[in-house]
Structure 1
Amino acid sequence: MEPMFDNKRLLWLLALVAAFLFGPYRSPADEPNASQGTERKLPPGELGRLVQLGREIVENTHDHPLSKEFVGNSLDCTSCHLDAGTHPEAASFLGVATAYPAWSPREKRVITLQDRALNCFMRSQNGTRPPVGSQVAVAITAYITWLSTDQPIRMNPDKPLGPNHVPPLEQTTGDIDRGKTLYEDNCAYCHGDNGEGSDDGPPVWGDESYNDGAGLSRVPKLASWLKVAMPLDDTTLTSQEALDIAAYVNSHSRPKFRLQDHLPEEGKAGVYNGDGR
């Protein structure tokens, strides 16, 4: 009598059961992650073109022809969201779109991903908020959403943060004097002796840097980012060193944030972006 299952049939049956219980197998190469970054296949047609445009704006925000009119300093989105947002820890865009709509304690309302991206133009880039529905707004958020492909939606009821947000440090206080020495030893080569920036790094204080309404203007927030992002490609700072450098950097002058100075003209908060009649 033949056995009920030979080896091939048994393997086939096990694969069928696994597919039923766990869904189709998806290898790590199929997921958006730090190593793959933006290598996943673009959507076809106009959507894919818009996603690519979004990445170009993220990488060249302050001088891209579509976004430069809304930027008031020398920073690009990728100045903080390293590797065009594909860095797994430094203000990562990976998975961010899954957290929206989200409650925002700062705005005291539920905001969309588009709101969150456009608010950065007002604060981190010390510029004017682009209109909702504008090509800049849609392109940037299309790119960020593409980096969340296939990830489950988990809207955030507490804060507008995605699953890979920068974790806060346990300590919160830095020393400016220690920070000055650490900055000179670790940061000045790229960011300038006077924080003015260079070809290798953006300005970190002064008129061409973020204003005092940006998240990074708060020492604990900047320190937690420094801990996972700097020095670039060699993140060796201790938590205390990151706090000391953050205290020193944020002890310098930077533009003052006044909300009314950063909003679009009356009637231009949103735009109709369709060509149809």
Structure 2
Amino acid sequence: MQRNLLLAICGLIVAFGGMSWVGQAEDQKSSSILRSIPEGPLGDAIRLGRDLVENTTSHRLSQPFVGNALNCTSCHLKNGTDPQAASFLGVATAYPAWSPREKTVITLEDRILNCFMRSCNGIRPPLGSEVSVSISAYITWLSTDQPIRMNPERPAGPHAVPQLKVDITQANRQRGEGLYSVRCASCHAKNGQGDKENPPVWGARSFNDGAGLANVVQLASWLKVAMPLDETDLTEQEALDLAAFVNSHERPKFQLSEHLPPKEQLGTFNSELKMEEADAGR
């Protein structure tokens, strides 16, 4: 029995050590890619894109298109280089991709701009704008040397957050409230409004109800792999309870027409949906 116990312990050490090694390998790979950014106009665009991802709410180019207190890196941790938390690594290889929400095939640029409308609760930057091209360039550079894997099912890359197979009817907001007080409030505040370093998770300064994380299961899936930052160890049930509690609060309503720029500044919004279908299909 002692031998079996020893083998089990060794197996756990190998398993968790392997997971750590994979994460470290991805970090080293992304660091190498970032160090290899070229000089010249392309390199300038890539570096600008990284700056916009990190400072979306404050950068003079992106700030006019943001309607809340979230930066891209609020969800895409480490500027999208964390391999677990909505990673940008390899994302460009999945596009163009079919988008069930827009009911059409979209490009990486479309996906980025739609995020400004939903997660940033702002205005969609024009296609081909400096904001759009630079963020696209940065994300594409993070896919350097990876094979094309266009996605016929949804706009998601090879490191997409795996969706939890949970029963939403088993979510418990009361348990979630207790967990939030113990595991989340120290960074995001008891009132959910965060601080200068940590984003608000509900209310007028957070993502609107058209964002992916406004879906309880999607939020739970993200929480499971991303939070808390200092000790990412939530169980599936804890992530589900927390997501139910967070999303039980008020947040801005998504109306597509309110998030599109004037037609002359739009570029092309290529969704086949009518306005009312988009609003209803959050």
TM-score between the two structures when normalised by the length of structure 1:
0.85
How high is the sequence identity, in percent, across the aligned residues?
Answer: 63
Which runs of 5 or more residues in structure 2 are unaligned? 1-20, 269-282
Alignment of 1:139-178 (within 5 A): 139-173=134-168, 174-178=171-175
Instruction: Return the offset for 1:43.
Output: 1.9
Q: Say if 2:205 is the partner of 1:212.
A: no
2:58 and 2:198 map into 1 onto residues whose CA distance is 16
1:39 and 1:56 map into 2 onto residues whose CA distance is 18
Alignment of 1:1-277 (within 5 A): 33-40=26-33, 41-173=36-168, 174-270=171-267
Letter in 1 for 2:227: M
After superposition, the C-alpha distances for 1:250-270 in whole angstroms (9 at most, x for unaligned) are: 000000000000001112112
Greater helix fraction, Structure 1 or Structure 2: 2
After superposition, the C-alpha distances for 1:145-165 in whole angstroms (9 at most, x for unaligned) are: 000001011111110000000
2:135 and 2:163 map into 1 onto residues whose CA distance is 26
2:175 and 2:32 map into 1 onto residues whose CA distance is 41
Instruction: Return the offset for 1:36.
Output: 3.6
After superposition, the C-alpha distances for 1:209-241 in whole angstroms (9 at most, x for unaligned) are: 000000000000000000000000310100000
Where do 4+ consecutive residues of structure 1 move more than 4 Å? none
Moved more, 44-53 or 135-144: 44-53
2:147 and 2:29 map into 1 onto residues whose CA distance is 19
Q: Work out the number of aligned pairs and report it.
A: 241
TM-score between the two structures when normalised by the length of structure 2:
0.83
Say what the alpha-carbon RMSD is for the aligned residues: 1.4
Larger Rg: 1
Classify the secondary structure of the residue corresponding to 2:64.
helix
Contact 1:172–1:219 under 8 Å retained in 2? no
Letter in 1 for 2:255: R
Letter in 2 for 1:192: A
Query: What is residue 23 of structure 1 aligned with on the other side?
Result: none
2:198 and 2:167 map into 1 onto residues whose CA distance is 25
Letter in 1 for 2:223: L
After superposition, the C-alpha distances for 1:131-178 in whole angstroms (9 at most, x for unaligned) are: 000000000000000000010111111100000000011113221000
Query: What is residue 3 of structure 2 aligned with on the other side?
Result: none
